[in-house]
Chain A
Amino acid sequence: MAQTELWIDRTKCDGSRLCAELFPERIALDDWGYPIIAPGPIPGPLMAHAQKAVDSCPVLALALRRVERRPPPPPGTKAS
């Protein structure tokens, strides 16, 4: 089964904090009220909460994406 992870468009996120309320298992808040998303695929039992968090974002900054099996970029490059 394809694994999914949370992806966030940081330029859209405006710190409304709904995602952290609905998915505290994987989303915490930093000192300024913006989400810290734990990396890695989301286990099956938590998927419903992940979906709720994605749906709750008022600016559509969150998405669930299929995990890509990509080799890590060499150090010092601009690749994410």
Chain B
Amino acid sequence: MNDTILWYTTRGAGAVSLVLLSAVVVLGVLSSVRFEAPSWPRFLTTGLHRNLALTAVVFLALHIVTAVVDPFTHLGWVAAVVPFSSYYRTFWLGLGVIAIELLIAITVTSLVRDLIGHSVWRVIHWLSYASWPIAVVHGFGTGTDTWAAWMLAIDVICIGAVVVAVGARLMLRSPDPLAADRAKFRERVSRKVVK
């Protein structure tokens, strides 16, 4: 296989993954604030969130496999699994490994959510707020195209969208109308002294 094709595929799949994962984060935020519009029902948000996430996983697999088998980088499979174990761009690549491993945890727990229950699923899903920024920094650090105009534009749009979405999420109240009263009641009927 032509080395250059592998190399371009790694970079291209990486860029596509960034766009997809940024959209996934934005859709996740929209889902948790219960965004809805006349022509945009709630299941569209949650459905897209899930489907784009799974698509991103496919592109990430492509990104990683082409990077590992590329003779130029001499990466080897270990480097793709153990963070900071590669000679090639050790630190930045290591971040990528961390990001993908967090994403695997998030994906697997989402697929078996029925078995593990809502609370466990939710805690692990919060790791997405760590996984996405680590992936972005990984892209900046290892990215061959980082300073190309088109890549910068993609970065600005993706980061901007996520920052706006997360900012809105932090400012809005919980959309569950019972949250405050439920907590008040539970406080009232909780055992005060541990026997």
> Chain A interface (Cβ within 8 Å of chain B)?
12, 14-18, 21-22, 32-33, 56, 58-60
Contacts and interface: CB of A to CB of B under 8 A. Distances in A.
Given A12-B118, A33-B177, A58-B46, 13 more contacts: A14-B178, A15-B178, A16-B42, A17-B42, A18-B42, A21-B41, A21-B43, A32-B177, A56-B46, A59-B118, A60-B113, A60-B117, A60-B118
A15 B114 CA distance: 19
A21 B67 CA distance: 43
Interface string B102-129: 0000000000011001100000000000
Interface of B: 31, 34, 41-43, 46, 113-114, 117-118, 176-178
Nearest to A57: B118
22 contacts: A12-B118, A14-B176, A14-B178, A15-B176, A15-B177, A15-B178, A16-B34, A16-B42, A17-B42, A18-B42, A21-B41, A21-B42, A21-B43, A32-B177, A56-B43, A56-B46, A58-B46, A59-B118, A60-B113, A60-B114, A60-B117, A60-B118
A49 B113 CA distance: 19
Name the prevailing secondary structure of the A interface residues. Answer: loop
A30 B67 CA distance: 53
Contacts of A16: 34, 42
Given A59-B118, A60-B113, A60-B118, A18 B177 contact: no
A12 B117 CA distance: 12
Contacts of B114: 60
B105 to A, nearest CB: 19
A22 B178 CA distance: 23
B31 to A, nearest CB: 8
A13 to B, nearest CB: 10
Contacts of A12: 118
